[in-house]
């Protein structure tokens, strides 16, 4: 059992530390006809059933597996954390605007969404594959 836990821990550390090198989950990209090609994010929003993500006015991503939401960071999933953190916002007191978009890499956030889904799914699979510890519940 110890070896299984060590192997799982190593794999989890590898995919979490190197999340930006993980493959993107293959989402369906639906582009809105008549809108200009745009990867800039202002504020993303999940669809009602959480299988789609309104990325911006131009792009909607669909095919998000339900298992994505089983990997949680506190009270929300990793994907929900990204959606919350990667938005343009202005601090009321200072007036400083936080803009997560990267001029040098316009598709960074789009890739990140796919990578976070891949890491979430892999994490759930690894944790579910762990042997039971035999502890009372």
- Per-residue pLDDT of the chain (137 residues), as tens digits, is 888 899 999 999 999 999 999 999 999 999 999 889 999 999 999 999 999 999 999 999 999 999 999 999 999 999 999 999 999 999 999 999 999 999 999 999 999 999 999 999 999 999 999 888 777 87
| pLDDT for the residue 15 | 96
| pLDDT for the residue 48 | 96
In sequence order, the β-bridge partners of residue 59 are: 31
Boundaries of every domain in the chain: 2-128
Asked if residues 84 and 75 have their Cβ atoms less than 8 Å apart, the reply is no
Cα 24 to Cα 12, 28, 64, 84, 93, distances in angstroms: 17, 12, 12, 20, 37
CA distance 49 to 32: 20
**Torsion angle (degrees, nearest 10) of CA 7, 8, 9, 10:** 50
């Amino acid at each position: 059992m110890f070896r299984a836990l060590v192997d799982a821990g190593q794999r989890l550390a590898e995919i979490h530390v190197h999340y930006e090198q993980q493959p993107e989950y293959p989402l369906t990209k639906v582009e809105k006809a008549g809108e200009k090609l745009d990867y800039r994010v202002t504020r993303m929003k999940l669809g009602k059933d959480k299988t789609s993500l309104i990325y911006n006015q131009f792009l909607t991503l669909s095919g998000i597996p339900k298992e994505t939401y089983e990997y949680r960071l506190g009270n929300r999933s990793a994907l929900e954390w990204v959606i919350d953190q990667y938005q343009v916002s202005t601090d009321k007191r200072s007036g400083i605007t936080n803009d997560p978009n990267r001029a040098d890499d316009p598709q960074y956030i789009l890739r990140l969404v796919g990578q976070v889904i891949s890491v979430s799914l892999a994490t759930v699979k690894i944790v579910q594959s762990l042997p039971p510890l035999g502890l009372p519940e």
